[in-house]
Amino acid sequence: MKLNGRLTIEDLNALPEIPIEGINYEQIYIEKEPICPEYTPPDETIIPSHKRKVVIDPGRICMPFGAMWASVGVHKCIPFVQGAQGCTTYPRYTFSRIFREPVSIATASFHEDAVVFGGRKNLIEGIRNLICRYQPEVISVITVCSSEIIGDDIDSYLDEAKEQLEEEFGPEVSDRVKFVIIHTPSFAGSHIEGYNRAAKAFLQTLAKKRSPNNKVNIIPGIVTPGDIREVKHILRLMGIENIILFDISGTLDCPLRLPQSMPYYPKGGTKSEEIMDMANSLATFALSPHEGKAGATYLEKRFKVPAIIGPLPLGVHNTDIFVKRLAEVTGRPIPEEIKDERGILLDAMADTFHYTMMRRVAICGDPDIVAAATRFTCELGMEPVAIFNGTPSKDFAREVWAVGEEYNYKPTIFNGGDMFEWEDFIKREKVDLILGNSKAVNVAKETDTPIVRIGFPIYDRVGYQRRANIGYRGGEYLLDLIVNTILDSKFPDDRVHQ
């Protein structure tokens, strides 16, 4: 039972012949050694994150990462990260892990001398090298902790870089590239704020007033390529022309098609002319309030394009709001197909509430998706018990509290602390289901709680980046995942046949 078909290390090394298929790690039984002989409980007095300084298992990463996420959603845009190489390499690892795609991000390659003398030389030389080899259309210059602390004057460095470019390659090369500067010192916020700042920076730099375009702007926030495709699907059904800012569906989920051109550029992404044209749209929908609000409000203040902030259209209520507002803004009716899609989701909910109702659920992740998922679980009759968001936000707490009031629940809200306290709560209070990202898997396994993976990051299973959780069809998919996971873990097989 213990070995479960696996070989001990001794057996493995005594095997007289290794089979053609080899013997892998997962076939080896490794006896777990406890770190210390006896279980010792953690000091309870400092489990709440506000009672301590140490952060254990943060539910957030660094601000530049969010700016990079946004930038890679722009067509032929290469982020140029003004900092040490790790500030580029780690995010690239993270992207590759989640999306299983290559991601091109340049680095200024800070070494010690850059700290002593400033990053001027690195930026000027780096921008030049990047442009002459890759001919990008847009470069987003992203600062990090180190360049912010040493106080690099990016604007003046960039002016100098442009001057030198013009001198070396002529104006046709230097004029073709657009530069967007995004300041993202990580000690001042998380990836959520990084995306938010990127939205504003891109629009501030590129958006230009021209004649009205009758389009709708969408800033989706940190969602999957699948989610963005679902938004496009809804807009298509409603016949609404649109501009999606940071369209990673065309850059982080790309076909394998030969021959490939060099250097590798994904075909998709938001074109810089489209970003320019966002000043002329009917309205801007920032689907994730924390990731895009700054961009949408900028367009409203500067170009009088109305900003419609959130909520993330996940679940029935939130998608209803999105669709109704789309109809209001464009004057178009809600089409039959969308009513049918909504009906199919409701039908699925009607078919499954006996499985979902009164189940206790814990949720973790980024603020907007967690708030929306909390509401969706309530719509399924589930009870949100422990709701964790990695990036502190008053709006988030208000929203989750309001959902709780509406459905008569009082979830414990962990707003911006760390996953350690959320985990401790689940270990003590037991829940029926966890909705969370790959970082919650250990918690799920250790508490024998089934998990449904949502949000950022999911790297331990395949395909989630292609699936939508938002919109009615996304809701239907998420509902199926939730119900099937409950069936897998809570029901004997003879209870699920009819």
Partner 1 sequence: MPIPESYKLKCDYCIPQRYKHMALTSRKQPNIPACNIKTVPGDMTERGCAFAGARGVVGGPIGDCIQVIHAPAGCAWYQWGTRRNLSAIYAWAEPNKLCNDSHNRRRAITTDLKEKDVIFGGVKKLRDACLEAWRLIPGAGGILIYTTCTSGLIGDDCHSVAREVEAEIGKPVFVIDSPGLCGVSQSTGHHHFNVQFYDQMVQYRKRHPEVCMKEEEKTPYDINIVGDFNMDWDLALIKPLFEKLGCRIVCVFTGGERMRNLLKMPDAKLNVLHCQRSCTYISKLVEQGYEVPYVPVSLFGIEQSAKALRDVAKFFGSKEMMDRAEQIIEQEIKTITPALNFYRAKLEGKKVGMYVGGPRVWHWPKVMKELGMKVVFAMCTFAHEDDYEKINARQEDGVFIIDAPNEFEIEECLERFKPDLFLTGLKEKYLARKFGVPTVNSHSYERGPYVMFRGSINFARDIYQGIYAPVWKFTKDKDFM
Could you say which of 2, 5, 19, 493 contacts partner 1 (CB under 8 A)? Answer: 19
Q: Residue 79: is the preceding peptide bond cis (ω within 30°)?
A: no
As a whole number of angstroms, the distance between CA 24 and CA 36 comes to: 28
Tell me which stretch binds partner 1 (CB under 8 A): 115-123, 294-302, 313-321, 364-372: 115-123
At residue 182, the 3 state secondary structure works out as strand
User: In terms of DSSP H, where are the helices of 248-315?
Assistant: 272-277, 293-303
Counting Cα atoms < 13 Å in the Cβ hemisphere of 150 gives 20
Could you say which of 1, 2, 13, 494 contacts partner 1 (CB under 8 A)? Answer: 13
Nearest CA to 310 out of 300, 325, 299 is that of: 325
Task: Please name the helix (run of DSSP H) or strand (run of DSSP E) that holds residue 413, with its range, or none.
Answer: strand 412-415
- Please give the residues from 423 up to 442 whose contact with partner 1 meets the rule CB under 8 A: 427, 439, 441-442
103 near partner 1 (CB under 8 A): yes
- Please give the residues from 440 up to 469 whose contact with partner 1 meets the rule CB under 8 A: 441-442, 445-446
| Residue 384 beta carbon to partner 1: minimum distance, rounded to whole angstroms | 23
166 near partner 1 (CB under 8 A): no
Nearest CA to 498 out of 381, 351, 356 is that of: 351
279 near partner 1 (CB under 8 A): no
132 near partner 1 (CB under 8 A): yes
Based on CB atoms, which residue is closest to partner 1, 201 or 451? 451
Structure tokens at 432: 């029926």
Could you say which of 1, 36, 350, 462 contacts partner 1 (CB under 8 A)? Answer: 36
Could you say which of 72, 77, 98, 108 contacts partner 1 (CB under 8 A)? Answer: 108
Q: Given CA atoms 413, 414, 419, 425 in this order, what sign does their dihedral have? A: negative
12 near partner 1 (CB under 8 A): yes
| Residue 8 beta carbon to partner 1: minimum distance, rounded to whole angstroms | 9
One-character DSSP codes across 329-380: HH-PPPPHHHHHHHHHHHHHHHHHHHHHTT-EEEEEESHHHHHHHHHHHHHT
387 near partner 1 (CB under 8 A): no
151 contact partners, CB below 8 Å, separation of at least 6? 118
25 near partner 1 (CB under 8 A): yes
- Please give the residues from 326 up to 385 whose contact with partner 1 meets the rule CB under 8 A: none
Based on CB atoms, which residue is closest to partner 1, 107 or 288? 107
As a whole number of angstroms, the distance between CA 89 and CA 245 comes to: 24
Nearest CA to 270 out of 142, 387, 137 is that of: 137
Based on CB atoms, which residue is closest to partner 1, 57 or 160? 57
Could you say which of 4, 172, 211, 259 contacts partner 1 (CB under 8 A)? Answer: 259
Q: Where are the beta strands (DSSP E) in 119-176?
A: 138-143
- Please give the residues from 178 up to 217 whose contact with partner 1 meets the rule CB under 8 A: 185-188, 190-191
As a whole number of angstroms, the distance between CA 495 and CA 178 comes to: 61
| Residue 262 beta carbon to partner 1: minimum distance, rounded to whole angstroms | 5
- Please give the residues from 48 up to 87 whose contact with partner 1 meets the rule CB under 8 A: 52-58, 60-65, 80, 83-87
Size of the site for partner 1 (CB under 8 A): 112
46 near partner 1 (CB under 8 A): yes
127 near partner 1 (CB under 8 A): yes
Based on CB atoms, which residue is closest to partner 1, 37 or 331? 37
Based on CB atoms, which residue is closest to partner 1, 145 or 371? 145
Query: Residue 213 to residues 228, 273, 329, 332: CA-CA distances in angstroms?
Result: 21, 12, 13, 16
138 near partner 1 (CB under 8 A): no
As a whole number of angstroms, the distance between CA 348 and CA 213 comes to: 38
| Residue 434 beta carbon to partner 1: minimum distance, rounded to whole angstroms | 13
